[in-house]
Amino acid sequence: MEAKRAIPSADQRWPWWPLLPLYPYGRKRTLVRELIPDQLWSVEQLQGVFYVAVPIRMTVARVRGGLMLYAAVAPTGEVRAALRDLEARYGPVQTIVLPTASGLEHKLAVPPLARAFPGAQVWVTPGQWSFPLQLPLAWLGFPMTRTKVLGDNGFPHADDLRWASLGPLDLGLGRFQEFACLHLASGALLLTDALVAIDQKPPDLFNLDPTPLLFHARDRGDEPLLDSPDRRQKGWERLALFASFLRPEALEVPALPALFSRAFRPGCRSPRTYFGLYPFQWRSSSTDAFAQLQAQAVDRLLVAPVLERLVFPRARPVVVRWLQELSRWEGVRWIVPAHYEAPIPYSAAQLSRLASAFEQRPWAPDQGNWGYLANLDQLLVRSGVVPSDALD
């Protein structure tokens, strides 16, 4: 049920973007896909900083008598219309789940989504935190009369779903926790941030707007945004490297004079090219670095490096135990994370193999592409912001 008709831009309006000022700001295009016939749907949008835009997914699962929404995306008119279509066929949205304690990008859309579906119960991961101020959920717009806490108040749809917590981990700044959810009817294991399968090719979502790919396919800020399949591929590889390592090894940040000398030139005086500002310079092949990143995967899945190095660097046993727990569940056939590709065919045996691989391989390394993340982590530990103890 891909959205093929032309969508009026008013239906893509997202007035709450100043809460988390990420690309594509006030206009969000959405791709809706059926992942498993009559059981599971993916609702995808782009989210990012400085055109480092990665796909974010809300998964819609069919439960007895209606639908459950796992990890919210912005409920634009387009999204609400797609959900109304599904409601007409499968019953009302009964439940909206915020499956993470820390992932702000999955949280901000929950209050407006809850307002769009006033009959739905909202379930949140415990220990929600907001930065820089610790605000009560009600102040953030959560409807307290119909909001419950996963674990503390039980779990929704016990007949249709199984739940397993990764964490909580004390990160000093706040806590990390996310809930995996197995949808028994389809065998899809829904995850939030912990594991991803990074698409080899640009995700279909970029067919709606390839600008972020074309932006990064360039080597200098004064190059125009040219479109071709090769350039989209190159741009995608670079986006994935940014999102994974924040600052990959192959990347050099040009000195400010060089940066500004190339900006504001004729042909690049438009916001679409950020006026020619392009603070990235690749000194070696981003394609090789992308291949290395993919090579870390076990049967396509990996821990996002930014999580492994900044959230789990001292918590390998916690991640391994969680995977072992999931591998004991019967009926796992697919993995559906909240970012990048889905669904990934996956079995319990593969989850167990993933746990062993994580136990044996080097964990949260310091070298190469990991260097920038490692420096950040060491800085946070040295300044006492995050605890240095091993978490097990």
**Helix pair angle (348-360, 316-327), 10° resolution:** 160
Q: Which is nearer to Fe ion, 78 or 105 (CB)?
A: 105
Strand partners, 41: 34, 60
Q: How many residues bind Fe ion (CB under 5 A)?
A: 2
Give me the 97-116 binding string for Fe ion, x by CB under 5 A, dash otherwise: ------x-------------
Q: Which is nearer to Fe ion, 23 or 278 (CB)?
A: 23
Give me the 309-348 binding string for Fe ion, x by CB under 5 A, dash otherwise: ----------------------------------------
Cα–Cα dist 220/278, whole Å: 7
Tell me how far, at minimum, the Cβ of 243 lies from Fe ion, in Å.
Answer: 10
Using CB under 5 A as the binding rule, whether residue 24 contacts Fe ion is answered as no
Tell me how far, at minimum, the Cβ of 96 lies from Fe ion, in Å.
Answer: 16
Q: Which is nearer to Fe ion, 71 or 351 (CB)?
A: 71
Q: Which is nearer to Fe ion, 68 or 243 (CB)?
A: 243
Q: Per CB under 5 A, which of residues 164..193 are in contact with Fe ion?
A: 193
Q: Which is nearer to Fe ion, 193 or 199 (CB)?
A: 193
Q: Per CB under 5 A, which of residues 81..100 are in contact with Fe ion?
A: none
Tell me how far, at minimum, the Cβ of 4 lies from Fe ion, in Å.
Answer: 28
47-to-57, 113, 332, 336 alpha-carbon distances in Å? 10, 17, 29, 18
The residue written with tokens 């209050």 in the block is: 111
Q: Which is nearer to Fe ion, 107 or 300 (CB)?
A: 107
Q: ∠ at Cα 140 (101, 154), nearest 5°?
A: 45
Q: Per CB under 5 A, which of residues 193..212 are in contact with Fe ion?
A: 193
Tell me how far, at minimum, the Cβ of 225 lies from Fe ion, in Å.
Answer: 27
Q: ∠ at Cα 21 (370, 287), nearest 5°?
A: 35
Please enumerate in sequence order all residues whose Cβ is within 8 A of that of 136, keeping only pairs 6 or more positions apart, or say none: none
Compute the chain's Rg from CA coordinates: 21
Q: Are 167 and 208 in contact (CB under 8 A)?
A: no
Q: Which is nearer to Fe ion, 56 or 250 (CB)?
A: 56
For 339, other C-beta atoms within 10 Å of its C-beta total: 25
Tell me how far, at minimum, the Cβ of 23 lies from Fe ion, in Å.
Answer: 15
Q: Under the phi-then-psi rule, with left for phi > 0, alpha for psi from -120 to 50, and beta for the rest, what region is 76?
A: beta
- Count Cα neighbours of 287 within 13 Å in the Cβ-side half-sphere: 7
Tell me how far, at minimum, the Cβ of 168 lies from Fe ion, in Å.
Answer: 17
Cα–Cα dist 88/75, whole Å: 17
Tell me how far, at minimum, the Cβ of 100 lies from Fe ion, in Å.
Answer: 7
Tell me how far, at minimum, the Cβ of 106 lies from Fe ion, in Å.
Answer: 6
Strand segments (E) across the chain: 31-36, 40-49, 52-63, 66-70, 93-98, 121-124, 147-149, 161-170, 175-183, 188-190, 195-196, 251-252, 281-282, 302-303, 334-336, 344-345
Q: Most distant CA pair in the chain: distance in Å?
A: 62
Q: Which is nearer to Fe ion, 173 or 349 (CB)?
A: 173
Residue type, 221: G
Q: Which is nearer to Fe ion, 193 or 237 (CB)?
A: 193
Cα–Cα dist 266/283, whole Å: 26
Tell me how far, at minimum, the Cβ of 20 lies from Fe ion, in Å.
Answer: 12
Tell me how far, at minimum, the Cβ of 44 lies from Fe ion, in Å.
Answer: 13
* Binding region for Fe ion (CB under 5 A): 103, 193
